């Protein structure tokens, strides 16, 4: 089954509104007319409205970096699915390791107690995922192991467990529209990417987990990205892997030239695959 790769730029806590608009203006002409790849940018919440206006008429989709599970209420600081839809979001990142308080390279100012402000768990990921689906947002659900978990031989168990817990009580027909992102925590923000064959292997673990729970048709339909120090130099090797369907890009997405090179590489790979 052919799956259209998705390249999504997670800008994290970067870019003022003005800086976001400059980046989008530089990005759009570089990506115009590229085929075989879906592209999204996920700015900070403060820039969503203006970036959505700037993207009008382009093929670049808009995503949020998080979403809450309630439609409204006394939840200070949270953004609901209807709010995100209202400002033009198509995608929502859910359960990023930084939102779970799992950091590959922690900032020195984040001690364990302070890091609890990043409070996502498998249970909250599940609630957010279901809320996003209910309101027509495409969830980009992040899973991945820490370095101690990998060193202890628990990478596969950790990732599979996060997938199963995130999909608890989700109907099989809805699962095919979800995007997963395998993001080994130790590779995020560290400059140390997982090598391509291993990233492909663990992505295959995710697909097998989906197969076991929902069957072959659903498993083959779900797109699974790789994320974790993806850049213009390693993108081709990673995105050429048969199980990897795009990338969730962090630091490199903050530069129009670097991000567009990743998208362009994906478009070339997609074109070559269609020829095959």
Domain boundaries, the chain: 6-275
Cβ neighbour number for residue 119 with a 10 Å cutoff: 10
Q: Using the predicted structure, report yes or no on whether residue 276 has a pLDDT greater than 90.
A: no
Q: Using the predicted structure, report yes or no on whether residue 197 has a pLDDT greater than 60.
A: yes
Q: Using the predicted structure, report yes or no on whether residue 79 has a pLDDT greater than 60.
A: yes
> Alpha-carbon torsion 222, 247, 205, 96, what sign?
negative
Please give the pLDDT value at position 112: 76
pTM: 0.96
Over residues 226-241, the mean pLDDT reads: 97
Please give the pLDDT value at position 95: 97
Contact 260, 20 (CB under 8 A): no
Please give the pLDDT value at position 1: 59
Over residues 49-63, the mean pLDDT reads: 98
The set of catalytic residues is: 96, 183
Tokens matching residue 271 = 């074109």
Please give the pLDDT value at position 189: 84
Which residues does 104 contact at the CB level (< 8 Å), separation at least 6? Answer: 97, 146, 147, 184, 185, 186, 187, 188, 189, 190, 228
Where residue 2 falls among pLDDT bands split at 50, 70, 90? confident
Please give the pLDDT value at position 104: 83
Condensed to tens digits (0 to 9), the pLDDT of residues 41-54 reads 999 999 999 999 99
Name the percent of the chain lying above pLDDT 70: 98
What does pLDDT average to over the chain? 95
Q: Using the predicted structure, report yes or no on whether residue 275 has a pLDDT greater than 70.
A: no
Class of domain 6-275: alpha beta
Contact 256, 227 (CB under 8 A): no
Over residues 5-29, the mean pLDDT reads: 98
Please give the pLDDT value at position 156: 98
Over residues 161-175, the mean pLDDT reads: 97
Where residue 264 falls among pLDDT bands split at 50, 70, 90? very high
Over residues 119-124, the mean pLDDT reads: 95
What are the E-state strand segments in 167-249?
179-182, 223-227, 246-249
Quote the CA–CA distance of 176 and 34 in Å, as a whole number: 25
* Mode of pairing for the β-strands spanning 138-143 and 91-94: parallel
Over residues 88-98, the mean pLDDT reads: 97
Q: For 234, list phi and psi in degrees, rounded to 5.
A: -105, -5
Quote the CA–CA distance of 269 and 35 in Å, as a whole number: 11
Quote the CA–CA distance of 61 and 12 in Å, as a whole number: 16
**Local structure of 1: helix, strand or coil:** coil
Helix count and strand count (H, E) for the chain: 11, 8
Please give the pLDDT value at position 108: 66
């Amino acid at each position: 089954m052919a799956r259209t790769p998705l390249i999504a730029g997670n800008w994290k806590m970067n870019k003022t509104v003005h800086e976001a608009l400059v980046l989008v203006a530089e990005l759009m002409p570089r990506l115009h007319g590229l085929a075989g790849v879906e592209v999204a940018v996920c700015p900070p919440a403060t820039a969503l409205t203006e970036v959505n206006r700037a993207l009008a008429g382009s093929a670049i989709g808009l995503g949020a970096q998080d979403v809450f599970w309630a439609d409204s209420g006394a939840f200070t600081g949270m953004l609901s699915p209807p709010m995100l839809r209202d400002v033009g979001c198509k995608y929502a990142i859910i359960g990023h390791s930084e939102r779970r308080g799992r950091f590959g390279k922690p900032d020195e100012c984040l001690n364990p107690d302070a890091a609890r402000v990043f409070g996502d768990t498998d249970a909250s990921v599940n609630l957010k995922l279901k809320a996003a689906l209910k309101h027509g947002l495409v969830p980009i659900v992040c899973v991945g192991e820490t370095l101690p978990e990998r060193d202890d031989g628990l990478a596969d168990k950790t990732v599979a467990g996060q997938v199963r817990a995130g999909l608890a009580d989700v109907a099989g027909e809805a699962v095919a529209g979800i995007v997963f992102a395998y993001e080994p925590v130790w590779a995020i923000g560290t400059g140390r990417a997982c090598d391509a064959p291993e990233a492909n292997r663990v992505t295959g673990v995710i697909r097998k987990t989906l197969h076991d729970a929902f069957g072959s048709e659903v498993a083959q339909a779900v797109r699974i990205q790789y994320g974790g120090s993806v850049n213009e130099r390693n993108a081709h090797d990673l995105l050429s892997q048969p199980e990897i369907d795009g990338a969730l890009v962090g630091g490199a997405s903050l530069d129009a030239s670097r991000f567009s090179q990743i998208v362009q590489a994906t478009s070339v790979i997609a074109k070559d695959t269609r020829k095959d």
